[in-house]
Amino acid sequence: MFDPFRDIGLPEPTAKADIILCSHSHSDHNNAAAVRHGKSVVLEGFAGEKQIGNVSIKGVPTFHDDAQGGKRGRNSIYIVDFDGVSFCHLGDLGQFLSPQQIGEVGSIDALFLPVGGFYTIGPEEARKVMESLKPRIAVPMHYKLPGMSDVYDGLSTVEDFMRRDDNIKRLEGPSFTVNKIDLPEKTLIIIPKLV
């Protein structure tokens, strides 16, 4: 599980996870206690490479803001390779990626990227980051949803990120499955129904 949250106005996650990856230490991204069980491995702000069973994890250090961490600190991007599919979770990315960071991320199949701005990159910056990483699937995250706490009022909506020529799939629920043989040729933006 990536960045289990709390205190955002939405119900906390209840699923249990074997591996919990927290991009940084802010309380809305490191609620490992809610999803942890006895054998869970928790990594927070991890940089480097680690193998846990049949799961390969790479952490790439970035910043949570456009001031080299001066406003909100550091952030870790996680790349997880599992069952032939590579997933990349950008956490609370607040900067454009450098060519070196793009190289460290490498080729990915599914990208989870913040698009709401205010605390992270916004819709236009997210679009540029997505285009630089060239995922087969992109899942917007960290945007304004009904029911969120007032502290998140400054966030953009997912619609602010979308363009008319995008290849979009809106889901009827919060989950979906990714497998190597069904990956699209053109980037598919998947929008789960979260509330």
pLDDT tens for each residue of 10-62: 778 888 899 989 897 776 767 677 777 888 898 998 999 999 999 999 999 99
Distance of alpha carbon 52 from alpha carbon 82, whole angstroms: 10
Residues 106-137 as b/e (b if ≥16 CB within 10 A, e otherwise) read: eebbbbbbbbbbbbbbbbebbbebbeebebbb
Question: For position 110, what pLDDT does the model report?
Answer: 97
Q: How far apart are CA 43 and CA 160, in angstroms?
A: 32
**Tens of pLDDT along 87-122?**
999 999 999 999 999 999 999 999 999 999 988 999
Predicted TM-score (pTM) of this structure: 0.92
Residue ranges of domains in the chain: 48-191
Q: Counting Cβ atoms within 10 Å, is residue 177 exposed (0-12), middle (13-18) or buried (19+)?
A: exposed
Is pLDDT at 81 greater than 90 in this prediction?
yes
Nearest-angstrom CA–CA distance, 116 and 20: 23
The DSSP bridge pattern shows strands 85-89 and 137-141 to be unpaired
Closest to 115 measured CA to CA, from 66, 63, 166, 158: 158
Answer whether residue 187 shows pLDDT above 80: yes
- On average, the pLDDT of the chain sits at 90
**75, 63 contact by CB (below 8 A):** yes
74 Cβ contact list (under 8 Å, min separation 6): 24, 45, 61, 62, 63, 64
* Closest to 66 (Cα-Cα) out of 88, 100, 98: 98
What class, spelled out in words, does domain 48-191 have in CATH?
Answer: alpha beta
pLDDT at 172 over 90: yes
- pLDDT of 65 reads 80
Q: What is the pLDDT of residue 169?
A: 96
